[in-house]
């Protein structure tokens, strides 16, 4: 990924398109109903979930949840949770007013601002500041 002024926008746009596709489609048509329920659980900002608690809530084993999730989404639930949390940050940070990174991080479901910064860098290659004001257009 480049380092010019468009690089943060390109990274965020790619993330938005990819996550939107995951939520709408599975490789072979309609997504597994169990996976759809798991994704709904992951969309809500929570700091207290684990694969064990998610599997128990859905009434399946961790192994079965992981297998079905990877088959439908292409990634494990934890990675999708990270992507969805970053999407929440991007959506909140796209508004005209910005309450500050610490507040945005907490609203999106991060433990703190450094947690946001680490994950933003790992998932997009850019800093959270570079994504402030990014216009969200994808689903």
pLDDT in tens, the chain (139 residues): 445 555 666 666 676 666 666 555 544 444 588 998 998 888 887 767 889 999 999 999 999 999 999 988 888 999 988 988 998 898 888 877 768 899 999 988 898 999 999 999 999 888 998 888 766 655 4
What pLDDT sits at residue 117? 95
Tokens of 65: 């949840």
pLDDT at position 29, please?
42
Count of domains forming the chain:
1
Domain span including residue 100 = 7-126
Q: What is the pLDDT of residue 20?
A: 63
Tell me, yes or no, whether 53 lies in a domain.
yes
- Cβ within 8 Å of residue 104, ≥6 positions away: 89, 92, 93, 98, 116, 128
- Domain for residue 61, yes or no? yes
Q: What is the CATH number of the domain that holds 115?
A: 1.10.10.60
Q: Which pLDDT does position 105 carry in this prediction?
A: 92
Distance separating the N- and C-terminal Cα atoms of the chain: 23
Q: Residue 131: which of 139, 119, 25, 37 has the closest Cα? A: 119
pTM, to two decimals: 0.72
Q: If we measure between CA atoms, which residue out of 77, 91, 79, 85 comes closest to residue 117? A: 85
In a domain, residue 100? The reply is yes
86 and 124 Cβ atoms separated by less than 8 Å: yes
Helices then strands (H, E): number in the chain? 8, 0
């Amino acid at each position: 990924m480049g380092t010019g002024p468009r690089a943060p926008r390109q990274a965020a746009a790619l993330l938005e398109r990819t996550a939107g596709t995951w939520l709408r489609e599975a490789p072979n048509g309609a997504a597994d109903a169990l996976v759809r329920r798991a994704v709904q659980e992951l969309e809500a900002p929570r700091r207290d979930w684990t694969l064990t608690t998610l599997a128990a809530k859905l009434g399946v084993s961790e192994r079965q949840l992981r297998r079905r999730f990877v088959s439908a989404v292409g990634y494990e639930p934890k990675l999708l949770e990270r992507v969805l949390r970053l999407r929440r940050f991007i959506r909140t940070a796209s508004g005209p007013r910005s309450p500050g990174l610490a507040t945005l991080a907490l609203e999106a479901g991060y433990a703190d601002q450094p947690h946001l910064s680490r994950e933003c860098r790992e998932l997009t290659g850019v800093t959270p500041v570079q994504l402030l004001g990014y216009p969200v257009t994808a689903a």
